[in-house]
Amino acid sequence: MLGQASVPLVGIVDTVVVGRTGDAGALAGVALGATIINLVFWSFGFLRMGLTGLTAQAHGADRQREVEALFLRGIGIGGSLGFLLLAFQIPLTSLALAVMSGGKQVSAEASAYVSARFFGAPAALAVFAITGWLLGLGRTRAALVLQIVMNASNTLLDVGLVWGAGMGAGGIGAGTAGAEWIALVTGLVICGRVAGASPLAMLKRFPKSHLLDREELAKLFAVNRDLMIRTVALLLVFTWLASSGARLGATTLAANHVLLQFISVAAFALDAFAFTAEARVGQALGAGSRPRFLRAIRLTSEFALLGGALITLSYFVFGKKVIDLMVTDPATFETAAAFLPFAALVPLLGAPSWMLDGVFIGATRGKALRNAAVLTTALYIALDLLLRPYGNWGVWIAFTATYVLRAVTLGAYLPGLLRSIKPAERLAGGASPA
């Protein structure tokens, strides 16, 4: 939970550093830019999710050679995709801003932020893979250290570039990109210690034919393909939310971005239980153990629901004080405070959907995740369009409803998953049950 709660601190630090300048336009620019980057970068979030499930299953089946191979494949694919994004940053940025324009000043700030963030793309995507690998092995303490290093670096760089050098939204983007490269170097060192050999040493002792094994790569890409579609579908929800806020003005866009930081903290904190479920479910399926599978779901879900209720209560009690610490613009504060109850309810409403994500990611059931996410996104967009006459109230009602929709659509696949569990002795040769 500590490691996961620290993940959104990158976004919170970005928001606070620029929010305390009192420039609502710059904060709105960071909000719009962060939405664009999240859509682009997290479209490749399958590197984290897919690697967690596959690593956990390989570890549960005692296939340690494949565990190391998954690490090398993950960082190789992540780094390559990141450099590809960097090469196409100009057309990607132009296209995104054309679709999600928030006005001349906001778009200019967003462009500066996005351009700087793309220089961290190779590191960011490789870190996705590293984090997924560590979580698949249950090395949560190592993942925590990695996140702490990234957050500390991001804070120092942001403060120096924005408050010190006066670089505004561009400084926020550059600071975060720099922190991602520092995190990559740290992650490679950590993984080397976990594996007992440096990444370079691992690469030397693996035949090229094994790393490029068609069957294993096909499995990796099959899982990742569905997870990518699922991730893009859910990211479209947040992109649509930002676009709806931008349509209502810079103040509303900035206020909604502040409230999203509350949701990010809750989502990542409670995802700690989902990630535990991913590893435990993957290991249970790798071992072909139905009792371990059920126990993993029950224990993690109980803790997640309790945690969600406590976070919701804390947001209702302390939320306005936190908003006051984050921004100095009065209009942004008032708007954020008015819609705080919606953000406060999300931890409780979202806990079931996040836990189900963990179960199905650990089971590498990409098709179920894909289908549920696509249906949820379609229903959300229809609901948002229907509620547009109600302004930002309609925006938040539709957005909050997505968490219930996610739980219902994905939960429908749970009985089939339970029926599919096969005893370990039927999984000859260490094959994966998923």
Out of 16-25, 94-103, 145-154, pick the least confident. 16-25
- Whether residue 28 is predicted with pLDDT greater than 60 in this model: the reply is yes
- Whether residue 102 is predicted with pLDDT greater than 70 in this model: the reply is no
pLDDT given for residue 78 in this prediction: 92
Query: Measured between alpha carbons, how far is 339 from 292 in angstroms, rounded to an integer?
Result: 41
pLDDT given for residue 429 in this prediction: 39
The per-residue pLDDT of the chain, averaged, comes to 84
Q: Cα–Cα distances in Å, from 120 out to 14, 128, 139, 297, 345?
A: 15, 12, 25, 36, 33
Nearest one of 41, 73, 58, 53 to 277, comparing CA atoms:
53
Query: Measured between alpha carbons, how far is 319 from 434 in angstroms, rounded to an integer?
Result: 42
pTM of this structure: 0.69
On whether the CB atoms of residues 368 and 233 are closer than 8 A, the answer is: no
Residues counted in the chain: 434
Q: Which residue has the tokens 């740290």?
A: 186
Query: Measured between alpha carbons, how far is 167 from 158 in angstroms, rounded to an integer?
Result: 9
Per-domain residue ranges for the chain?
A: 2-430
The pLDDT confidence band at residue 312, using thresholds 50, 70 and 90, is very high
Q: What is the DSSP string of 322-350?
A: HHHHH---HHHHHHHHHTHHHHHHHHHHH
382 burial via Cβ count (<10 Å: 0-12, 13-18, 19+): exposed
Sequence-ordered list of residues with C-beta below 8 angstroms from that of 229, at least 6 positions apart, any chain: 370, 373, 374
Give the whole-number percent of the chain exceeding pLDDT 90.
Answer: 34
pLDDT tens for 123-171 read 999 999 999 899 888 888 898 899 889 988 988 898 888 787 777 778 8
Nearest one of 232, 235, 350 to 301, comparing CA atoms:
350
Q: Token pair for residue 104? A: 């001349």
Does the CA dihedral 316-321-325-327 come out positive or negative?
A: positive
